[in-house]
Amino acid sequence: MYRFLNGLVKATAFPAYWFCARTKVHYEDKKAQSRKIKGSAIIISNHTSVYDYALMLFLFFGRTLRYQMAEVLFKSKNLARFLKMMGGIFVDRDAYDFSFVSESIDILEKKGVVGIFPESRLPKPDEERPLPFKPSVTYIALESEAPIIPVYTNGVYFSKKRAQVIIGKPIYVRDLWDSALDEKQNIENITEALRQKIIDLGEELKKRSQKKNKNTAAENETTN
């Protein structure tokens, strides 16, 4: 059911999505990772808006993304029903219920794609971005052995400017494991490394945008 509904939503809502974002996609290395995903994968990104979910659905158009979703989104019965039908993974941030971890691993072991916003909530205006990542993303990646595909979005929606995202190269967290450290320290270090990767992608996207603006300005001066 969720595959059918995902396809239906993408097919019917694309015009609205294009009006909202008009996404320009960049790649850290397109040969290493494009918008096509083969096999299982974990999508992680910074979290700027509720519209990030829609952006990711259309960014990886060819796959059905099963996104982890906070309990607050399930308070409305109609919305909860819709999100479940879309394949949403319920996460209760106020309870010691980690069933979302096992559910995510099960999806990945069946060659599915799981989407995670590791910050677990939207940052407040005065908070440093991105927020610290939750370690559950690292546990899930370690247990499933699925690659993590990092994505950075500038969070521009409903603007004359286009939304811009950059897709990073896949990360295999086992490659970041340090046998000289205990599990707790490894989990902390890997989780922070994932956050730093998102920050680095954001800096790379900013550099590319600045370079494009300089080139455009230079072309205008030459023309004038």
Instruction: Summarize the confidence of residues 137-166 as an average pLDDT.
Output: 95
Instruction: Summarize the confidence of residues 192-212 as an average pLDDT.
Output: 93
pTM of the model: 0.92
ω into 130 cis (within 30 of 0): yes
For the chain, percent of residues with pLDDT exceeding 90: 79
Residues 143, 165: Cα–Cα separation, whole Å: 28
Structure tokens at 88: 């949403």
pLDDT tens-digit series, residues 135-150: 999 999 999 999 999 9
List the helix and strand counts (H, then E) for the chain. Answer: 6, 7
Q: Kindly write down the DSSP assignment for every residue of 9-26, as one continuous string.
A: HHHHHHHHHHHHT--EEE
For the chain, percent of residues with pLDDT exceeding 70: 95
Per-residue pLDDT band for 101 (boundaries 50, 70, 90) equals very high
pLDDT tens-digit series, residues 57-92: 999 999 999 999 999 999 999 999 999 999 999 999
Structure tokens at 14: 């694309």
